[in-house]
């Protein structure tokens, strides 16, 4: 086995989230009645990826709860799989 095979690994993405306490709806937007979340990820330190996912709810209170749960998971390094933003 070569040394390059031992040292090559997939970079761990980092999360870039700016929150404003005066805005309880940060990172949320309503698109035709359904709430979405958006945030930025830096997959490798050189690039950035804007992520936009449906929260699948028409309720603003539920959207805030799902966003907070998602951001909690992301901050602990748990990345959602597939299209489910709040999974």
Structure tokens at 13: 């993405």
Domain coordinates in residue numbering, the chain? 10-75
Number of H helices and E strands in the chain, helices first, is 2, 4
Q: 21-80, pLDDT tens digit by residue?
A: 789 999 999 999 999 999 988 888 788 889 899 999 999 999 999 999 998 888 888 877
Distance CA 18, CA 40 (A): 9
Distance CA 17, CA 12 (A): 16
- Positions of E strands within the chain: 14-16, 28-31, 34-42, 49-54
Which pLDDT does position 58 carry in this prediction?
A: 98
């Amino acid at each position: 086995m070569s040394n390059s095979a031992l040292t090559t690994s997939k970079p761990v993405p980092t999360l870039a989230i700016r929150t404003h306490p005066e805005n309880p709806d940060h990172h949320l937007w309503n698109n035709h009645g359904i709430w979405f979340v958006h945030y930025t990820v830096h997959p490798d330190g050189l690039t950035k990826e804007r992520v936009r996912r449906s929260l699948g709810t028409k309720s603003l209170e539920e959207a805030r709860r799902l966003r907070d749960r998602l951001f909690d998971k992301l901050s602990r390094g748990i990345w959602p799989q597939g299209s489910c933003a709040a999974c």
